[in-house]
Structure 1
């Protein structure tokens, strides 16, 4: 569950592993051009409609769904919705669960199916706040293998599975500042919450009524377990996102960033 949650969170904010490596040898001018290109599709709707910065950001987030579905071929990044994971390890240490295991051939769906509750830029404070909502993020796998303790019950099992996060909320802030004249991301507090999950791990405890009982326990305990273990997960992915964002923003003034968001500089 921990590994799956990590993958979901990282996928929501884009491919933070591959892009920085691709751009290692870029000049500041090339990075600036890439940033303008990424935001360029907000140009017509934002400027002609005179909707302002917040609506431009909403348009960018809305269009980003297509990018997640199509991937980023120029960077060698495949489609991210659905997201395919060949193999991963499960390790959960919390007051409620001590679990070890692995999974194979997993597909995560609906990463791009988010609702934009709110996105707002405070220009004076150089801060963007966002609030996204997902009805569900659905995971299907050919095989899981797990062993450990949930609450006080020893559990084990292997087989195909389905696991969904329900009513997912992704909120956060992007706090920016100037470093040697360039706009940079200084901090990015992010939170991910879901009040419920659906779990169907076939073969738990040998199947039958015991499998149904343990799946229900997983559904009952999963939100609490995630809240206990999510801090280091979120911190790890935020670090990668901030590093990538700052490599893109290097050499860009705040006024230039605003121009790009509004589409004014998209053709430069």
Structure 2
């Protein structure tokens, strides 16, 4: 699924630029940066209620009754299914900082999420040198998640078309909480395997921030421009404000 964080940030950019076009700043008595913060805060309602007319479902919480995925990495192949999937915490962000640099056409930001977590039932059927089948409940959380970054953009001279040039995102996580059942039939081994997962995810996120930034920019920039599409700034503002 296309990243909701990126959607929120791009919509915030649109709201800022829309305010620049629609109303003189002298009449508003507030900075560009505060306009962006207002847009990001307003997007909390979009996460909670969705925006069907713009193709955005409810994402706080995000639910899925049943999903199944097939994978094949050469040595390993199989299926992974989830049922009663619930993702929570996307709307519980705090805007630590948000700065609009008009002359440089970019926005720098920092968000903090106390906990982004998943609760689900899972079904794993793994084929390799031997067959592994596991089912059970699972809880997985990224706690004290901090996301810093920068979005560079351009705005057409003769049109209101917004285009994202690059997106740099640097995440860090304070703690990873993995409680996946039945990784092993022995309780002590199951706990140890969860600890391995926690350490692996923590190191993967915190020790590879430059790689993550490069990968996100490469993958997310075209996605964001696709999301913007032919929408005008008025359309983008309407997504944030619900039409007001």
Fold-level similarity (TM above 0.5):
yes
Structure 1 CA distance for aligned equivalents of residues 200 and 26 of structure 2? 48
1:166 aligned residue: 143
Q: Which has the higher contact order (CA 8 A, sep 6+)?
A: 1
Instruction: For residue 80 of structure 1, report the CA deviation from its aligned partner.
Output: 0.9
2:67 aligned residue: 87
Q: Is the 8 A contact 2:180 2:194 kept in 1?
A: yes
Q: Is the 8 A contact 2:112 2:145 kept in 1?
A: yes
1:55 aligned residue: 34
Partner of 1:124, secondary structure, is: coil
**Deviations 1:39-95 (Å, cap 9, x if unpaired)?**
78xx99x987622111111111111111100000323533111112332548698xx
Are 1:103 and 2:81 an aligned pair?
A: yes
Give unmatched runs, 5+ long, in structure 2. 9-13, 238-242
Alpha carbons of 1:178 and 1:109: their partners in 2 closer, same or farther (altered >3 Å)?
Answer: closer
Instruction: For residue 224 of structure 1, report the CA deviation from its aligned partner.
Output: 2.3
Question: Scaled by the length of structure 2, what TM-score is found?
Answer: 0.71
Instruction: For residue 174 of structure 1, report the CA deviation from its aligned partner.
Output: 1.8
Alpha carbons of 1:90 and 1:167: their partners in 2 closer, same or farther (altered >3 Å)?
Answer: farther
- Select 1:123's aligned residue among 96, 102, 118: 102
Partner of 1:13, secondary structure, is: helix
Instruction: For residue 102 of structure 1, report the CA deviation from its aligned partner.
Output: 1.7
Structure 1 CA distance for aligned equivalents of residues 217 and 136 of structure 2? 29
Q: Which moved more, 1:194-203 or 1:111-120?
A: 194-203
Q: Aligned pair count?
A: 217
Q: Is the 8 A contact 1:156 1:204 kept in 2?
A: no
| More helix by percentage | 1
Q: Is the 8 A contact 2:166 2:217 kept in 1?
A: no
